[in-house]
Structure 1
């Protein structure tokens, strides 16, 4: 059933990897975990190899590799327990073409691990056509994941516009109806707390004052309540009332009976990061459930908040270099700015809000952190020359897909032109009486269906080629930024955003910089 492999490669410790997610629902039966596992076990047994372990990620997307059993597989590779990884096809390994390429072209070879995608004829120990086109297959898998993401987003938006609640957890003060999970009903245990917050604010209490009152009285906060009543997992530090928690409740139209959703959006289909949308982008449907506060109270609160947060005050705020980038390495809260008479410091926001009872100061001068980052980037340049560093930052530029894309586009274009000519010829034959109406319609239908499918493929590949060209330009831009920093003594916000994902500050003064590219030293 399966092709034979050289005898010298028979002694393998195999890690079978299976994955299934929502993006595979269309092929659920053929791609089910059971079918994948049975298929691969049979394959390995026919080869007379040893199955070291079976790794299964059921319900995890292929657009990122932060999956429990995949990470367990990587750990076992590091320990030397696995020297052959096998999947049913390449898409089971992953659908992100950059990360998939990293494991195929860099990680597996460097760790002396063989990889086989059975149905795609990919085998890193053999010279095969499947290996040659694996980068192109990765791109197609990536395109499929993107298309599914768009469809899922569209479906969710439709439900939102119909007034159906689609969140994982109901807003504080509500719970999901037992009869209809897309409908909210009042939670009598927590709704009084929400009403009290609105009345306290109307009676002149500021947002921070309200948070202090609730904390002093030991009133349960939203995070604690979710931990107690659902499968939500949150940190102890965040289980206190604070300015943001109270403000979020006061601004949420859901509490006056209008379902407000679409408040956050993923940066893209590969990322878990969310960006906050403005009020104008929210999807709000009126009178979908029973209100906790009446409309007049809610609108009066909004008017009071607008007066307090006026444009003059907002204009005095300034954007700091490291705002949003630095986190406490111990409690994971963000680091916030504070100023002495002459220096700017970053300190743990948990310490600032709740005192040393919950976390320590973790203080660091802005100028010292800036210098440390510049020195770290220069250390990278000493490890490898600048060209190699840029390649590490842009793994996707290793393989030029432009030629493959253009070849596919040319073949599709030729066939589409050919089909147009065939259809025109059929019409001419019908006019001349060489074929009758029924024959004409039947043949035209077949050729038109083929033409439509080819046109869709043509448009998709054309779109991907354009995105690829943009990625190439982006790689060059990042290269210029890296080279610029290597030769300068200053760091600006633009360069920081392009190169750094986040920075962690630990109590023992250890600093961990998470780059937007693979660090070749680590």
Structure 2
């Protein structure tokens, strides 16, 4: 492509007397400054570019059509708002000349720069001048150095990219946070931007999400619950808190399956800094590729944890047993999805609903391919649960150490006390937010009366705040109920004994118990089963 710069463009030669030699130009002044310069607003460098180029145009006696500015945008990408507006005005025939301080202001990708100088500008009868580089497409003889300067700019950008990546990796290995915005539940330490501290307003929501998942809620169910309660999603919360955060097209972003999953999979909530999860394909492209977990840069103990390592491990274990959809069944948590498999063909057991309303499991291989593949292996969910419970109780009663169970139970009781403190903290946070919303609603109404915002804007913000208020009021009542139940519980010793008895005489399974204790359950013909425990079963 560099060689193409040196080829004389016949269309440009033919335009010499028609366009490039005339004096009545409508000039588009283009100024750009990279974000790495660390300036905000219109920096001094942008101001210098404007002043220099404006004087240059006026000295030549040309007309300034408009000034286009991209402050804080890299020269590698050409998707910049100011530059895109310039291109639109060129196509609309509003511009007959583009002028920049030097060629690197136009861009640092020599292939793209070549496209605009060699093809786009000439085809649209536009003259280009880079003042400090003495480049003028109206004077072909003086442009011999153009391709070399473009390549040098491109090499400079590549070198800068390597240096920046090296600095970032060094910070990652030191456990310093380098993201633009802190993860949901945290905020940047005002004393050190590379250190995370807990955001007390929304950390309770993160803890609650983990507890909901452990208790049996799926990603979509959690998202729906949070949306119904008006809990701000990560994007909406960042947009409310940070002026520089752009929510995109959605005015009031909602919680979704993916946003819930991203939080539940993120080890940052255990006090671990895990970075370098993805990387750009190269310095010219915006596309990224996800890296394998072994390539992440992980540093432990870099900040205060929101979630205990034990709870994070529970969630991770449950995620390995992904739910399988089943026709006819209610969209709720399916106890044996991901755990039950056909003992003959090895396919997973899928749920279906009987006319009686009961749910039973059948071999998915049989369901899809018929008798030629496998047989039905049908078993009622209730019966399968009872058979596993019977085997589990037999195992526990025969080999469990009651004293060790007591110690474990005491740990659980103490953890409940911690949960009570968490509920109290969240209650305080919810109460504070309700007060803030009341103030904002009043301010919103005053802005409407003064004419600061119109009726449509008022209703949009009012409905969003009001919905959040309703959800918070519901959560407030729910938290008060939890705290009342906690306060009415029996004394510690009785609770310990009760937990031990409940363990020895387990009456109900849940997915967490299955994930912790069982690798898989093989369902054989004639309602027989084989349980593969994660620990060795001494009963067998």
Return the TM-score normalized by structure 2: 0.53
Separation in 2, partners of 1:162, 1:224 = 31
CA spacing shift, 1:24–1:96, aligned 2, 3 Å? farther
**1:241 matched to which residue of 2?**
255
- 1:60 maps to 2:77: no
Contact 1:177/1:185 (8 A) holds in 2: yes
Contact 2:70/2:81 (8 A) holds in 1: yes
**2:126 matched to which residue of 1?**
113
**2:150 matched to which residue of 1?**
138
- 1:185 maps to 2:197: yes
Displacement over 6 Å in runs of 4+: 309-313
- 1:159 maps to 2:186: no
**2:314 matched to which residue of 1?**
300
**1:268 matched to which residue of 2?**
282
**1:48 matched to which residue of 2?**
61
Structure 1 residue 50, shift from structure 2 partner: 2.2
- 1:229 maps to 2:203: no
Contact 1:20/1:31 (8 A) holds in 2: no
Separation in 1, partners of 2:192, 2:76 = 31
- 1:281 maps to 2:295: yes
**1:387 matched to which residue of 2?**
none
Separation in 2, partners of 1:207, 1:76 = 47
SS of the counterpart of 2:86?
helix
CA spacing shift, 1:219–1:127, aligned 2, 3 Å? closer
**2:161 matched to which residue of 1?**
149
Structure 1 residue 171, shift from structure 2 partner: 0.9
- 1:258 maps to 2:307: no
Separation in 1, partners of 2:229, 2:66 = 52
**1:174 matched to which residue of 2?**
186
Separation in 1, partners of 2:78, 2:209 = 42
Structure 1 residue 78, shift from structure 2 partner: 2.4
**1:101 matched to which residue of 2?**
114
Alignment of 1:311-326 (within 5 A): none
Separation in 2, partners of 1:207, 1:70 = 41
**2:84 matched to which residue of 1?**
71
**1:203 matched to which residue of 2?**
215
Structure 1 residue 24, shift from structure 2 partner: 6.8
Contact 1:90/1:120 (8 A) holds in 2: yes
Contact 2:278/2:291 (8 A) holds in 1: yes
> Which structure has the higher relative contact order (CA within 8 Å, separation 6+)?
2
Alignment of 1:27-38 (within 5 A): 32-38=45-51
Structure 1 residue 20, shift from structure 2 partner: 1.3
Stretch moving more, 75-84 or 154-163:
75-84
Aligned pair count reads: 307
Separation in 2, partners of 1:24, 1:104 = 26
Separation in 2, partners of 1:166, 1:257 = 16
Separation in 1, partners of 2:261, 2:120 = 46
**2:34 matched to which residue of 1?**
21
Separation in 1, partners of 2:297, 2:58 = 54
CA spacing shift, 1:23–1:211, aligned 2, 3 Å? closer
* 1:375-409 deviation digits (Å, cap 9, x = unpaired): xxxxxxxxxxxxxxxxxxxxxxxxxxxxxxxxxxx
Separation in 2, partners of 1:23, 1:102 = 26
CA spacing shift, 1:220–1:46, aligned 2, 3 Å? closer
Separation in 2, partners of 1:264, 1:238 = 28
CA spacing shift, 1:24–1:215, aligned 2, 3 Å? closer
CA spacing shift, 1:94–1:101, aligned 2, 3 Å? same
Contact 1:24/1:31 (8 A) holds in 2: no
* 1:347-392 deviation digits (Å, cap 9, x = unpaired): xxxxxxxxxxxxxxxxxxxxxxxxxxxxxxxxxxxxxxxxxxxxxx
Stretch moving more, 115-124 or 199-208:
199-208
SS of the counterpart of 1:9?
coil
Separation in 1, partners of 2:235, 2:51 = 42
Gaps of 5+ in 2: 1-15, 324-337, 348-367, 369-540
Alignment of 1:397-416 (within 5 A): none
Structure 1 residue 190, shift from structure 2 partner: 1.0
SS of the counterpart of 1:183?
strand
* 1:250-300 deviation digits (Å, cap 9, x = unpaired): 111110111122222222212222322222222221111111011121122
Structure 1 residue 21, shift from structure 2 partner: 0.7
Contact 1:122/1:128 (8 A) holds in 2: no
Separation in 2, partners of 1:57, 1:46 = 25
Separation in 2, partners of 1:230, 1:275 = 27
Separation in 1, partners of 2:187, 2:179 = 11
Separation in 1, partners of 2:57, 2:322 = 69
Structure 1 residue 215, shift from structure 2 partner: 2.7
Structure 1 residue 60, shift from structure 2 partner: 0.9
Separation in 1, partners of 2:78, 2:202 = 38
Contact 2:36/2:72 (8 A) holds in 1: no
Contact 1:20/1:61 (8 A) holds in 2: yes
SS of the counterpart of 1:275?
strand
